[in-house]
């Protein structure tokens, strides 16, 4: 890393030599340039603070130049350089295929400008490697999308990226070139985080609008991609306007739900307990509340990734180099970290992505903690670990969920089940129901061995088959986890029985083994799922007594099953206390 100190004369924002590909020789610098901007938190607004925001390992590896400069009257650091590759990885492949030696190299260039405006630090990145020069673990994850939801009209959304939160890492991206209303993207306002919104803004104070008179493209995610002024005065003015919008303007009403997942501040007193619980989960082989998800800023690179490098301090293990990264790979290393240090190890550990399987061509990296997702409850709050930070789900999300659950629970059902005696376990209860009422067929612990699930003992179609061939799933529970499993079990069973012939054959065989003359046949398709629940507390099943994360799982299951044209009912089973 080469450090150059200022000459005492402020330089223009861009000082491109003749022949630079960004501006051909003899042509003036454009009034604006599409720039990726990160807002950095926890960085002191001094030159010394700006140095701390750099990724010094990356800079040393490539001997980049770091210069102290000014943008107008704003202190700044300019970082730039080239990463040369003497020979591309695919040369050997072409040589092997054609028998002809191929030797082609390439270079990736980039630059970063760290600038302080009104005490806030921003990182402006350029080229393919510019963003790697900054420690983006310090980036404010709500910055870009916070500006977008306050600037883009809801009916002009061109692209949305969203992630199913919790222990699921699924990411969906939808693009409509002409734009459409946010409602048309079918976003699950409870179960998804919207990580990117793209469209156009008609903010007349921005340089791009003042110079063209046209709306400006905006891509909002962890970062903000937008045309910014190339003159120092205009750049500073644009950054001030962006900060004003984020600080003073309310989100568009139709986009407000995107902001309802709020970052939890670093000093929040709940974090110590959450991290202690997370530390315990990281020692388990298959923790139900943890998942693996690609950090938002690396999503665009994941399809080019050929291998990973996972480095975990305190584990006593050498870095692993999987070609496919799984949660088990991470847990294999955190499991050997001493108790109480696992979350720290994740934060200090690193997962690096490479385009090649040998780990030579790096394309991105993030702290290992940014790859773990978790969903934990704290008293009445619901908190989510996502991309290295904790988030609290806003009250409007909770209100939405409560309304949905109340509607589900308020539906009447044609099924009624007897009370559950406290001296019965689930197996005894289900056997008693089927023995006392021959309209029900006992299928509890009767498994369907099918090709769709070749490993293990198979799946349960249900616990009880109802009088009208309803799939009845029964559970008595004192926490969210068993109920979440119950709701997922209903989804799996419907999927198998609707689409797999061998599943229906196995079900008919099980039912007729008990009731030879039963009406079920191979034309059977699930039409109704009934979730029958007894709470350990003995309380009546309501939106107030159903555990929060069980509500989330129920909402998702109902949504999935109704999309499959399967009706869903939920009934409460009264608990009968037996004397000792």
| Banded model confidence at residue 395, pLDDT cuts 50, 70, 90 | low
287 DSSP assignment: -
CB atoms within 10 A of CB 522: 9
Sequence-ordered list of residues with C-beta below 8 angstroms from that of 239, at least 6 positions apart, any chain: 37, 115, 117, 122, 228
347, 377, 393 — which closes off a domain? Answer: 393
pLDDT of residue 294: 82
- Residue 313 contacts residue 345 (beta carbons within 8 Å): yes
Q: Are 419 and 568 contained in the same domain? A: yes
Residue 514: φ, ψ to 5°: -95, -40
pLDDT, one tens digit per residue, over 301-344 is 776 788 999 999 999 999 999 998 888 899 999 999 999 999 99
Q: Is 476 helix (H, G, I), strand (E, B) or coil?
A: strand
Q: What pLDDT is recorded for position 187?
A: 74
| pLDDT above 90 for 173 | no
Tell me, yes or no, whether 559 and 429 share the same domain.
Answer: yes
Above 60 in pLDDT, residue 165? no
pLDDT averaged over every residue in the chain: 86
Whose CA is closest to 183, among 255, 252, 251? 255
Same domain, 306 and 438: no
* Cα 127 to Cα 21, 114, 124, 130, distances in angstroms: 11, 15, 11, 5
pLDDT of residue 7: 39
Mean pLDDT within 72-86: 92
Count structural domains, the chain.
Answer: 2
**Per the structure block, which two tokens stand in for 457?**
């003992």
Domain boundary residue, one of 351, 371, 393: 393
Q: What percentage of the chain has pLDDT greater than the value 90?
A: 55
In a shared domain, residues 374 and 442: no
487 shares its domain with 547: yes
Domain assignment present for residue 167? The answer is no
Query: What is the C-alpha separation between 226 and 241, in angstroms, rounded?
Result: 13
Q: What is the DSSP annotation of 79-95?
A: EEEEEEESS-TTHHHHH
Q: What would the pLDDT profile of 453-487 be if each residue is shown by its tens digit?
A: 554 457 889 999 999 999 999 999 876 667 878 89
- Domain span holding position 383: 271-393
* 537 token code pair: 């507390």
Lowest mean pLDDT among 106-120, 239-253, 376-390: 376-390
pLDDT digits (tens, 9 = 90+) for 527-560: 999 999 998 888 888 888 887 667 878 888 898 8
Residue whose tokens read 């709701």: 487
Q: Are residues 496 and 466 in the same domain?
A: yes
Question: pLDDT value at position 343?
Answer: 93
pLDDT value, residue 455 = 44
pLDDT of residue 183: 77
Can you tell me the mean pLDDT for 153-162?
90
**Residue 484 confidence (pLDDT):** 78
The reply to whether 472 falls in a domain is yes
- Is residue 456 situated within a structural domain? yes
Pairing mode of beta strands 216-220, 192-201: antiparallel
Tokens at 306, concatenated: 């050929």
**Which pLDDT belongs to residue 456?**
47
Least trusted range by pLDDT, from 21-25, 47-51, 421-425, 442-446: 21-25
pLDDT at 580: 59
420 plus 347 within the same structural domain:
no
- The rounded distance, in Å, linking the Cα atoms of 369 and 321 is 17
- Taking residues 502-515, report their average pLDDT: 93
Same domain, 472 and 557: yes
Tokens read off for 245: 């919008």
Do 297 and 403 have their domain in common? no
Is 410 exposed, middle or buried (CB count within 10 Å of its CB: 0-12, 13-18, 19+)? exposed
């Amino acid at each position: 890393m080469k450090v150059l100190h200022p000459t005492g004369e402020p330089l223009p924002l861009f000082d491109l030599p003749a022949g630079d590909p960004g501006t051909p020789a003899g042509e003036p610098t454009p009034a604006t340039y599409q720039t990726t901007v990160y807002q950095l938190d926890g960085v002191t607004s001094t030159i010394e603070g700006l140095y701390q925001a750099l990724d010094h390992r990356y800079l040393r590896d490539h001997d980049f130049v770091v210069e102290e400069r000014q943008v107008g009257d704003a202190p700044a650091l300019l970082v730039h350089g080239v990463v040369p590759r003497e020979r591309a990885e695919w040369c050997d492949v072409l040589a092997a295929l054609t028998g002809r030696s191929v030797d082609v190299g390439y270079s990736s260039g980039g630059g970063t400008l760290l600038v302080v405006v009104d005490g806030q630090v921003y990182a402006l990145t350029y080229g393919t490697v510019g963003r790697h020069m900054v420690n983006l673990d310090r980036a404010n994850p709500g910055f870009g999308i916070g500006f977008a939801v306050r600037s883009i009209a809801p009916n002009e959304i061109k692209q949305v990226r969203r992630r199913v939160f919790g222990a699921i890492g699924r990411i969906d991206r939808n693009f409509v070139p002409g734009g459409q209303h946010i409602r048309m993207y079918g976003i699950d306002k409870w179960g998804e985080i919207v990580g990117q919104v793209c469209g156009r803004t008609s903010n007349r104070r921005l340089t791009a609008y003042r110079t063209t008179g046209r709306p400006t493209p905006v891509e909002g995610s962890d970062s903000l991609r937008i045309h910014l002024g190339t003159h120092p005065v205009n750049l500073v003015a644009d950054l001030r306007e962006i900060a004003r919008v984020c600080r003073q303007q309310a989100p568009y009403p139709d986009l407000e739900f995107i902001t309802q997942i709020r970052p939890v501040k670093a000093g929040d007193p709940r974090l110590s307990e959450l991290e202690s619980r997370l530390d315990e989960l990281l020692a388990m082989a298959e923790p139900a509340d943890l998942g693996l998800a690609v950090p938002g800023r690396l999503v665009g690179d994941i399809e080019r990734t050929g291998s990973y490098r996972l480095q975990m301090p305190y584990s006593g293990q050498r870095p692993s180099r999987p070609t496919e990264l799984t949660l088990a790979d991470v847990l294999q290393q955190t499991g050997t970290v001493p108790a109480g240090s696992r979350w720290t190890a994740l934060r200090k550990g690193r997962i690096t992505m490479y385009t090649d399987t040998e780990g030579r061509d790096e394309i991105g990296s993030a702290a290992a903690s940014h790859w773990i997702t978790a969903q934990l409850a704290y008293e009445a709050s619901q908190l989510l670990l996502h991309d290295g930070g904790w988030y609290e789900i806003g009250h409007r999300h909770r209100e939405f969920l409560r309304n949905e659950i109340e509607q589900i629970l308020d539906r009447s059902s044609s099924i009624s089940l007897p009370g559950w005696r406290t001296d019965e376990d689930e197996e005894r209860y289900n056997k008693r129901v089927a023995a006392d009422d021959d309209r029900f067929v006992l299928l509890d612990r009767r498994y369907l061995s099918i090709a769709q699930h070749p490993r293990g003992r198979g799946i349960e179609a249900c616990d009880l088959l109802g009088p009208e061939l309803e799939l009845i799933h029964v559970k008595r529970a004192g926490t969210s986890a068993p109920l979440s499993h119950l709701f997922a079990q209903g989804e799996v069973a419907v999927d198998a029985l609707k689409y797999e012939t061998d599943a229906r054959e196995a079900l008919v065989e099980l039912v007729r083994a008990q009731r030879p003359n039963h009406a079920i046949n191979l034309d059977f398709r699930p039409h109704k799922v009934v979730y029958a629940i007894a709470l350990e507390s003995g309380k009546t099943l309501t939106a107030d007594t159903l555990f929060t994360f069980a509500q989330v799982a129920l909402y998702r299951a109902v949504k999935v099953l109704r999309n499959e044209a399967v009706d869903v009912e939920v009934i409460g089973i009264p608990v009968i206390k037996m004397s000792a």
